[in-house]
Every structure is written in structure tokens, then in C-alpha cells.
Amino acid sequence: MERELALEFVRVTEAAALAAAPWMGKGDKIAADQAAVDAMRAVFDTVNIKGTVVIGEGEKDEAPMLYIGEEIGCSDSPELDIAVDPVEGTNLVAKGSPNSLSVVAAAKKGCLLKTPVWYMKKIAVGPEANGAIDIEATPTENLKSVAKAKGKNISDITVILLERPRHDEMIKEIRNAGARIKLISDGDVAGGIATALSHTGVDMLMGIGGAPEGVLTAAALKCLGGEIQGKLHIRNEEEAQRAREMGVDDLDQIFTTDDLAKGRDVMFSVTGITNGELLKGVQYHGDDQVETHSIVMRSKTGTVRHIKAHHKISQKPSYFKDEINTF
């Protein structure tokens, strides 16, 4: 059942990527996201699960589909928590920039953290440095620890983080310590996963990014043997109160990989929309052939599958809107 579901989740992320790809570079991130949401939701209707969206497009009054709390799937079992990001990096698609992804994570009911606020301070590494990070330590201390764990000099360590003014001091300290930096405009799920894949050349992720993205990253790293630590980044009293109402008594709590994605049975699927170091994006071949590249993984077995799929699109699936005539 779990093997079958893992492949079903690939169908879900493939559909979202295929629907978003025609909007690449057209400057309309809302249209790209909506197309992906429609496609993802339609395919979820065919998957034999009783899923509840715990990370999604927002609250019910903000999103008509894939909203937090929505039930998806076409069966009474298994009961699963579902975390989705139909387009991780909507700005990246709109600009035609690299590393936009479609992402789904799943775990048994109650195993994926329902994030009470939008932002989280994070640090993440791959399996070689699992156990070598401490979110309470300084960037320099973490660099030294990760370099030692990986048998590298600090000058050989590459840190990925979002290019934001809030990271200016962190960037300065990382550079002063001698490490290399890769700045990204969006897409810190891709950055987190990259730490666990040797071909990306990324060793660590640091900084403040999305809290929902932290849960998705945790699900992926749980499957890949990496580690993430996070602390909620609370900006005001309203967010503090929301966190308390959702059961977070200690606002300074450090969330580990297992806090964000609990249990042994975590599944993660990701399909590339635009080309990037992690995955190739959607590729068009002639008038009726499209190629997608995906990764699907399971924490229970540690299996990581790379899937290249060819789709014949002369007959568009029902989840493609009529107005999307690129095909």
C-alpha cells in the first residue's frame, strides 16, 4: 500500500508541475499557482486515502481548494496528514527562474506539525552532518561543527539562504568565517533538500524562511537521513497568541526533524517545474510530448526513486483548464 501511495503522490506532483509550466516566464504567479492547485486537487480526488491538509494554501476563507483542514482523497483509509505546496516558488515560475517545484508530503494522521505562524528560523544539513548542528549556536560555531563532521575545511562549506535584509548580519558572519554562500530569491524547500544531495554542492541551509516550508523540508530530510532544527519566528503578539491557541506553550521551543515530521512512515514527492540543481523542470518535445522529472522517497525504507516520465498531451487531462492552450 505504501509503495503504491508513493507512486500516486508522484502523479499528484507531476500534474501540478504540468499545469504550472505553461505559465513559466509570463509574469503571472497567481495564474501559475491556481493552475497547479486545480490540477493537484483533481488528482488527489483519485487517490485512495482519507487525507487532511495540514499545510496548504491557507485558511478555508482564503483558499477554495487545498486549504488547511480540507479532506482529500477517495477512500476511508489510510488516514493521513497531507502537506502540499503546488508551486514552491511562484515568483520563480513567473520569472522563468530556476528551482521551482511542486511538493507533497504525507504521514500518518497527527504526524505533521500544523504550523501556527508563517515564519521559522531554520538550520538544515544532510546525513553526513546529522547531529552536528545547534540552532542556538552562532553561524560560525555551526560552520566549524559541520565542517568537522564532513571532513572539510570551512572554506569548502557552502551555505544556502534566502536573500533578505534580515539575513545581512548572518551573511556577513558566514563570509567572515570563510564559508561560501549561495543566495536564493525564493524556494527554501529546494535549499533544504539540496543539503542532503551531494550533486548540489550545498552543505547547510540557514536563516528565516517559511514555517510550512520547514515542515515540508523536514519530511524530505526524514527520508534522506538529514536533519533540520527550527524555531518559530513570531513577529507580533497576534502571532504569539495564535501559537498558544494551537498548543505551543513554549514560544522558544526548538523543533527537531521528528517534531516537524513524526513517525517512521513519511512519504515525500517533488516534481521540477523550472530547471534547477535539484531537478530538471518540465521539458517540451514536439507538439504532444512532455517530460517530467521527479523524486519520491519513503522514510520507512530509505528508498529514493528518481522518476523521469513522458506524458502524451494531445488529449489534455481534465485538470488542465481550457484557457491553458500552450499544449
Cα separation, 34 vs 142, in Å, equals 39
Count helices and strands in the chain by DSSP H and E runs = 9, 13
Label each residue of 211-241 as H, E or C.
HHHHHHHHHHHHHHCCEEEEEECCCCHHHHH
Handedness of CA 139, 144, 149, 154 (dihedral sign): positive
* Binding site per annotation, positions: 33, 57, 85, 88-90, 119, 164-166, 186-188, 210, 213
Long-range contacts of the stretch 167-176 (C-beta < 8 A, 24+): 167/207, 167/208, 170/139, 170/206, 170/207, 173/138, 173/139, 173/140, 174/139, 174/140, 174/143, 174/206, 176/140
* Binding site per annotation, positions for Mn(2+): 33, 57, 85, 88, 213
Buried b (16+ CB within 10 A) or exposed e, 232-269: bbbeeeebbeebeeeebeeeeeebebeebbbbebbbbb
* Binding site per annotation, positions for substrate: 88-90, 119, 164-166, 186-188, 210
